Structure 1
Amino acid sequence: MNKTISLPELRKNARVCLSIEYELQLNGQQYTGETGDISLGGASLRTSTPELKSDQALENGQILLVLGEDRLLFDCMIVYVGSMGASGFSKTGITFKNVSDKNKSTLLKYMMRHL
């Protein structure tokens, strides 16, 4: 029997398709790449070097976003890691945690400039 689990939509913020360079620190390992989209609540990571693994879901870390001259550091949690079966392709979802008002404002301004 094929069972499907349906999860409620947890996204509270609109996402904007933006390619932003990032550095992710996760359990003493550094990952780099670019976002696929971003919101005030999190982002999808389109690429990752080295590649993130599915067993890293629910791990906590820190992500540094490079927004031109601004660099924003967020605590984050990995909520999903998938490869779509293609080597070199990563689809990782992260959620930001404890976002300061200053970081939220800076990120929002950056997103609005790039719509």
Structure 2
Amino acid sequence: MHQPSCRMNDDEYQLLTRAAAVCNMSVASFLAHASLKAARDLDRTAAEIADEREMLNELFSLRRHLGRIGNNLNQVAKALNSDGHAPQARAVLSAVHRAAKRVDAFTQRRVDSETSVA
């Protein structure tokens, strides 16, 4: 058995651990799986790999953003359920609409880029 190693900065390692967690894999398994998949597909260009990395970064950013919005939405619901006022409700709903537009725009860019390649 061989045990290769690699170095990465904190941001890269956090991205890696999040990706592994999303796939319900250990970091080592995720690295092995991803690197072997890339090694078996040497026809992919650097541009395709960079595009995929950009997509993953955007998806993780969206996930964090939606998590914060969800937290704010829970606070609004708690205030309203206790007969309180929720002056931030409009701002939270506005954030939800902006996030939905961001997801739509991202999805459309991905669809358009896939269509132009085909």
For the criterion TM > 0.5, the same-fold answer is no
Q: Say which structure is richer in helix.
A: 2
Q: What interval of TM-score do these two structures reach, taking the shorter chain for normalisation? A: under 0.3
Q: Say which structure is richer in strand.
A: 1
Larger Rg: 2
User: Which structure has more RCO (C-alpha within 8 Å, separation ≥ 6)?
Assistant: 1
Relative to the length of structure 1, the TM-score reads: 0.24
